[in-house]
Amino acid sequence: MFSTASTTPEKLLQMLSALLLFAAVLGVVLFFASRVRGKRSDNLVGYLYLLPVVLLLAVGLVYPGLRTIYESFFDAQGNAFIGVDNYKTILTDGDQLTVLGNTIVWVLIVPVVATAVGLIYAILVDKSRFESFAKALIFLPMAISMVAAGVIWKFMYEYRVDQPNVKQIGLINQILVWFGGKPVQLLITDTGKLNTLLLIVVFIWIQAGFAMTILSAAIKAIPDEIVEAARLDGVSPWSMFVKITLPSVRTTIVVVLTTLAIGTLKVFDVVRTMTGGNFKTSVIANEFYSQLIRADNQGLAAALAVVLFILVIPIIVYNIRQVRQEA
Amino acid sequence: MTVTPLTTTPEVTPVQLSAAAVAKKRLSSPWASLAAIVIAVLWTLPTFGLLLSSFRPELDIKRTGWWTFFTDPQVTLDNYRAVFDSDSVNLGTYFVNSLMICIPSVLIPLSLAALAAYAFAWINFRGKNILFVAVFALQIVPLQVTLIPLLTIFAKVGIAGTFWPLWLAHSTFALPLAIYLLHNFIKEIPAGLIEAARVDGAGHVSIFFRVMLPLLTPALAAFGIFQFLWVWNDLLVALVFAGGGDTVAPITLQLANLTGTRGTAWHLLASGTFVSIIVPVTVFLLLQRYFVRGLLAGSVKG
Amino acid sequence: MFGHSGSSRSRVALAGALGVGLVFGLAACGGDKDGDSSGSTDSAASSIDCAQFSQFGELKGKTVSVYTGIVTPEDAPHKKSYEPFEKCTGVTVKYEGDKSFETQILVRARAGNPPDLAFVPQPGLLQQLVATGKAVAAPKEVADNTDKWFGKDWKAYGTVDGKFYAAPLGANVKSLVWYSPAEFKDKGYTVPTTLDELKALSDKIAATGSKPWCAGIGSGDATGWPVTDWVEDFMLRLNGVDAYDKWVKHEAPFNSPEDIAAWDAVGSYLKNDKYVNGGLGDVKSIASTTFQDAGLQILEGTCSLHRQASFYAANFPEGTDISENGQIYAFYLPGKDATTKPVLGGGEFVLAFADRPEVKAFQYFLSTDTWANLKAKSSSGWVSANKGLKIENLTNPIDALSAKILQDPNAQFRFDGSDQMPAAVGSNAFWRQATAWITGQDTQTTVNNIEAAWPKK
């Protein structure tokens, strides 16, 4: 069961037995949980429900996370303690500052724009005849792997020289040419962070589907009476949106923004596949990968990961306050 | 749209016309439609370009833009034939692997997260809030830092090179977000329902199964699709835990290898991409109806 | 992680039973495969001497796993060349090709999950892998073969801290300039034999109004590496092999005058608006063009010269006539004068992480002249520095040219320098700074930045 399966039936069998094993584990947890009685039962049942999760997370995320924090105070090979030198590098080195700046641009733009597009689109297509088809179109990019997305956007951004016999194969440059302009080497132009913004477009393109789907569900759950009442009051469409729709889906928007912000902080494959982090487009998660894998600098990589932790703290704090307010 | 599972609650009644629909109707309709169409076109255009490319001959792809297709339509199925050629690319095997990886990697975290989210929302146990914040915060641990420690463990246990590391890793990595999203949904379920069941003497196990699970189904389906997509499209975890052989590696890995050791094979990537999109899109279309009434996460309180 | 599965004993028993079943299934499957291949490889097997493997004992039914960055389509001739060995010994070679090999092999080695054998394309990476403590030294049989069939310099690249680990496998010649013999004939250009002649030729072509050179350094997350090859080639040519060796070992700083001279010499080609970028745009377009696409401009007639390694042959479309008088061919990037012949090149090394007899036997096989010739016959775009490799077995004229350059007694072969430098430089700073240099950064800043990235001891 734990050995290599090489034919399809073997693989299937292995998968089924794994699922059975998992079901058995769950069964045991639930069995014990159902036996618990008495005053302390809530405590015990709570811990039992969380037991598998805590075990997996402790081994899979907490332990590596703590190790990373520890390693961030050591040198490239993890041999010598060097204090906060790695953090100094991140905060003083010119390249690293660009990386930090880019990450902040990403995390400010992506969640907001993706959520806005998702929300507007969800409202626009709501109840329309082609709703499910229309939604599938925006959802489609989510179904595409980054490797594939890289190819897709190559055919948007690609540059070909402006010469008589050479044709553009990137759509954007073709449009520029059609309108009498000259093709631009889009991905290596960092004036006004153009290339970073172009990469951000790709990520928004992928993530808007997530925002749209979740927000659409929330919109559909707004109780009818509220809407009816507002309508009887003769509320204008705009104030309907501002006074009814927005407040009703506010918590959902927070959830979506949070999820997207965290996802954006971790973004790495978009940058990796499209520019490799060159031309001043690198972000922390990509730089982390470069330092860990390419440059073999464990210490700096670890420190970069810790900076990611730190950047997410405001998001966590905000969410905790949300939870408190609701409670 | 009828929110079936929630009709049991007095607070939420079947919605006939949503607020958004009303708002939209009042917004001058032609503009709204135009805006929707513009967004839809912008979002679909890049993929559409690749779709056309996947049917174009290799040299044409390299030399002219895909829109040339409209003035000079050259169609070939060679790119698709090539990716299914069992001697070289052999996407079929990897396709099976992707399925084998995905199914447990969706079911396991989903059921664990449902239990945990329920516990966080409706069971009063000590340290609940701290634990919840901790789980939430774990979302930020970059997967990359976990890879070597985990692979070391897998190698020691002797399951490296099988599907197990992928299942366990994907399940673990999915938990923080899954718990966060499901918790947001679960806590909106009217407390009255749970109180009523408790008064009837039901324990947490039976409340979970009899009351929660039916209400949760749509949310689970929704998160299930997301998780399915993320796992299906994952490359990083697969790179580390599956390696490059065809026994375990998923389709994304083979797609990444498609470009050849030193060549560019846009034509193969184009067709390979569409083969790999089929499953996620089908899953989305099939489960969309759950989706729509699904993630009510954070909707107005009942 | 499976601790709590023990709570359900019957399940575990079932799991065990299933596991056993799967193992049997696997074994049976392996057997089938042997049976299948026996028919097709009879001729191949009979062409090699099976007795040479008897020293490793009975190996039937054993498996050797190989992990490499060589993927489709170059993997097919590799697998094919193993068949005689598999037939002789009954060993199954499990070939795992992965484009991300260079990053993943380190992860796997560090985690204690390495393959039996890895084909390592960089001496620098080889050192990192040995440093993990998981690699094992080459067996005596392999060391003997290496002494017999390879030059001392090649053996040295597979040696870490005086201990010989890895025998060379394939090789490539990087000091090549691709051109079109047809075009040269038409326009009366001649193949240059010195650097001055190369410059003169470039000027001559530029005077006709077309850009002589085309270049591309795009390569995903390895973008920039083609520039490092240029710099190394000019380092060798302008400053000689001794200065090159010092530079690679960082006994001379990266921002030394010699180094700057080499960069500026490269700049006189790559950052020269009159010379580049034929058919592709301005100087900056070098950064946005993938290295695979750049040289194809020669076929388009928009570019005449493209400096790239011998493996570039694989990038031309099928059916391109690559030969001395055909559409495409390459010439040796000349030395400073016609007598010195520095050759920049690369290659892979076979590093073992296990010392089971079947692994040793396969390592031994790969280090023989028998294998080199088998592989040569079955592939195109491949050479080896194996002295037993018969040039007539190489089907592709470019491979024959490479082999001739490698076997030239006057040649001074040097391995790609960036491949030997510490990762922080060789596969990070050097690439990135070179990319920034192409897009406008000046030479002094570039070399200073690379010098600063050198790990402090």
Conformation bin of residue A128: beta by default, left when phi > 0, alpha when psi is -120 to 50? beta
Chain A contacts of C19, Cβ < 8 Å?
1-3
Angle, CA of A218, A223 and A224, to the nearest 5°: 125
* Site of tokens 């390495």: C114
| B90: its two tokens | 């052999």
What is the DSSP pairing of strand C159-160 with strand C117-120? unpaired
Instruction: Specify the residue for token string 């020691």.
Output: B156
Listed residue (C344, C383, C226, C233) closest to C293, CA to CA: C226
Q: Which of B205, B257, B296 to mutate to test the interface with A (most CBs of A within 10 A)?
A: B205
Token readout for B103 is 């199914």
Q: For chain B, which chains pass the contact test of at least 3 CB pairs under 8 Å? A: A, C
Note whether B167 contacts A: Cβ–Cβ < 8 A. yes
Residue-by-residue DSSP string for B120-183: HHH---TTHHHHHHHHHHGGGS-HHHHHHHHHHHHHHHT-TTSSHHHHHHHHHHHHHHHHHHHH
- For A72-75, the CB contacts below 8 A with 24+ separation are A72/A299, A72/A302, A72/A303, A72/A305, A72/A306, A73/A299, A74/A298, A74/A299, A74/A302, A75/A299
B81 touches chain C (CB under 8 A): no
Residue of C nearest to A188 (CA): C288
Chains A & C: contacts with CB separation below 8 Å: 125
Asked if A252's CB is within 8 angstroms of B15's CB, the reply is no
> CA of C425, closest CA in chain A: separation in Å?
7
- CA of A178: how far to CAs of A174, B17, B69, in Å? 6, 45, 17
| CA-atom Rg of chain A in angstroms | 25
Q: Measured between alpha carbons, how far is A87 from A70 in angstroms, rounded to an integer?
A: 13
CA–CA distances in Å: residue B178 to residues A134, B86, B186, B190, B254: 26, 38, 12, 21, 28
Report mean pLDDT in 10-residue bins for chain A, 327 residues.
79 92 92 79 88 94 94 90 94 92 96 96 86 88 85 90 85 94 91 94 95 86 81 83 88 92 89 88 92 88 92 86 71
Residues of chain A found within 8 Å of residue C219, distances taken between Cβ atoms: 276
Rounded to 5 degrees, φ, ψ at C163 are: -110, 130
Residue B225 CB burial class (10 angstroms; 0-12, 13-18, ≥19): buried
Tell whether B151 lies on the interface with A, counting CB pairs under 8 A.
no
Q: What is the pLDDT of residue C454?
A: 93
Q: Which DSSP string do the residues of B10-58 spell out, in sequence order?
A: SS----SS-HHHHHHHHS-HHHHHHHHHHHHHHHHHHHHHHHHHHTS-H
Structural domain includes residue B63: no
Say which DSSP state C442 is in: -
The b/e string for C39-78 (b: 16+ C-beta within 10 A; e otherwise) is eebeebbeebeeeebeebeebeebebbbbbbbbbbbbebb
Backbone angles phi, psi at B143, to 5 degrees: -50, -35
Provide the number of structural domains found in chain B. Answer: 1
Tell me the C-alpha distance between A174 and A156, whole Å. Answer: 9
Residue B62: CB atoms within 10 Å: 15
Residue type, C226: P
CB contacts < 8 A, B to C, total 95
Element at C176 (helix H, strand E): strand C176-179
* B58, B243, B259 ranked by CB distance to C96: nearest: B243
- Are residues B244 and C111, on separate chains, in Cβ contact within 8 Å? no
Cα Rg of chain C, angstroms: 24
Domain with B178, as residue range(s), is 86-292
Chain A interface includes B130 (CB < 8 A): no
**CB of B158 less than 8 A from some CB of C:** no
Instruction: Note whether C383 and C404 are within 8 A (CB).
Output: no
Interior angle at CA A171, CA A165 and CA A175, nearest 5: 80
**Does residue C190 sit in helix, strand or coil?**
coil
B150 in any annotated domain: yes
- CA–CA dist C383, C389 (Å, integer): 8
Chain B touched by C36 (CB under 8 Å): no
Q: Which of C36, C100, C172, C292 is the best residue to mutate to test the B interface, defined by the most B CB atoms within 10 Å of its own CB?
A: C100
pLDDT of B17 reads 55
Using DSSP's 3-state secondary structure scheme, residue C416 falls into coil
B145 touches chain A (CB under 8 A): yes
- For residues C195 and C199, give the distance between their C-alpha atoms in angstroms, rounded to a whole number: 6
Show which of residues 248-307 on chain C sit within 8 Å of chain A, judged by CB atoms.
Answer: 277, 279-281, 284-285, 287-288, 300, 302
Neighbours of A317 (CB within 10 A): 11
CA distance B121 to B128: 9
Which has the closest alpha carbon to B183: B126, B112, B239, B253?
Answer: B112
In C, minimum Cα distance to A154 occurs at C288
- Taking the alpha carbons at both ends of chain C, their separation in whole angstroms is 40
Residue B107 is assigned to a structural domain of this protein: yes
Q: Does A188 touch chain C (CB under 8 A)?
A: yes
How many other CB atoms are found less than 10 A from the CB of residue B196? Answer: 13
CB distance C71–B240 less than 8 Å?
Answer: no
Chain A interface includes C63 (CB < 8 A) = no
Which domains does chain C possess? 61-172+347-400 (3.40.190.10), 176-345+409-453 (3.40.190.10)
The verdict on a CB contact (< 8 Å) between C5 and A25 is yes
Residue B275 and residue B162 in contact, taking contact as beta carbons nearer than 8 Å = no
pLDDT per residue of chain B (302 residues) written in tens, 0 to 9: 333 333 333 333 344 456 666 555 555 578 888 999 999 999 999 999 999 999 999 888 888 899 999 998 889 999 898 888 766 667 888 889 999 999 999 999 999 999 999 999 988 888 888 899 899 889 888 888 898 889 889 989 988 888 999 999 999 999 999 999 899 888 878 888 888 888 888 888 888 888 888 888 778 888 888 899 899 988 888 888 886 567 888 988 888 777 655 556 788 888 888 888 888 888 878 877 776 554 443 333 33
At residue C21, the pLDDT reads 35
Decide if C288 and A55 are in contact by the 8 Å CB cutoff.
no
Note whether C117 and C67 are within 8 A (CB).
yes
Degrees to nearest 5, angle at CA A25 with A19 and A28: 140
Residues A21, C11: C-beta atoms closer than 8 Å = yes
User: Cα–Cα distance between C315 and C23 in angstroms, integer?
Assistant: 42
Task: State phi, psi for C305 to the nearest 5 degrees.
Answer: -135, 140
Separation CA B68–CA B52 (nearest Å):
10
**Of residues B150, B239, B263, nearest to C314 (C-beta):** B263
Which amino acid is it at B184? N
Per-residue pLDDT, C175: 96
**Cβ atoms A207, A114 nearer than 8 A:** yes
Q: Domain with B149 in it: what CATH number? A: 1.10.3720.10
Q: Does A63 touch chain B (CB under 8 A)?
A: yes
Residue A152's φ and ψ, nearest 5 degrees, are -55, -45
Cα(C40)–Cα(B281) distance, integer angstroms: 42
List chain C residues with pLDDT less than 50: 1-45
Q: Do B148 and C110 touch (CB under 8 A)?
A: yes
Which residues 174-233 of chain A have a CB within 8 Å of chain B? 174, 205, 208, 210, 213-214, 216-227, 230-231
**Contact: C222, A76; criterion CB under 8 Å:** no
Q: Chain C residue closest to B62 (CA)?
A: C293
The torsion angle over the Cα atoms of residues C26, C31, C36 and C38, rounded to 10 degrees, is 150
Query: What pLDDT was estimated at residue B199?
Result: 86
Report the residue of B11, B17, B22, B276 to disrupt the A interface, i.e. the one with the largest count of A CBs within 10 Å: B22
Bridge partners, residue B11, by sequence: none
How far apart (Å, rounded) are the C-alpha atoms in residues C455 and B183? Answer: 47
Q: Minimal CA–CA distance to A129: which of C23, C6, C116, B21? A: B21
d(CA C260, CA C247): 12
Contact across the interface for B142 and A266, Cβ inside 8 Å: yes
Q: List chain B residues with CB under 8 Å of C113.
A: 151-152, 154-155, 160-161
CA distance C393 to C184: 28
The C-alpha atoms of residue A142 and residue A204 are separated, in whole angstroms, by: 10
Tokens 């690379």: give the residue.
Answer: C450
Asked whether the beta carbons of residue C288 and residue A293 sit closer than 8 angstroms, the reply is no
Nearest CB to C99; choose among B157, B240, B256? B256
Asked if C288 lies within 8 A of A10 by C-beta distance, the reply is no
Contact B177/A at CB under 8 A: yes
Q: Does domain A86-152+190-326 have CATH number 1.10.3720.10?
A: yes
Place of tokens 């596949």: A273
Within an 8 Å CB–CB cutoff, is residue B91 touching chain C? no
Inspect the interface and report whether the beta carbons of A290 and C281 lie closer than 8 Å: no
Whether residues A293 and C224 touch (CB distance < 8 A) is answered with no
Q: Give domain status of residue B24, yes or no.
A: no
DSSP codes joined into one string, C5-68: GGGSHHHHHHHHHHHHHHHHHHHHHHHHHHHHHHHHHHHHHHTS-GGGGGGG---TT-EEEEEE
User: Mind listing the pLDDT tens digit for each residue in A97-117?
Assistant: 999 999 999 999 999 999 999
Q: What was the pLDDT predicted at C42?
A: 42
**CB proximity A301 to C under 8 Å:** no
- Which candidate from A21, A59, A160 shows the least CB-CB separation from C15? A21
Task: Give the Cα separation of C21 and B298 in Å (integer).
Answer: 49
For residue A81, the 8-state DSSP code is: B
Residue labelled with tokens 């939604």: A135
DSSP string, C214-227: ----BBTBTTTHHH
- Across the interface, whether the CB atoms of A52 and C284 are under 8 A apart is answered no
**Start-to-end Cα distance in chain A:** 46
Q: How far apart are the first and last CA of chain B?
A: 18
Phi-psi region of B243 (alpha: psi -120 to 50; beta: other; left: phi over 0): left
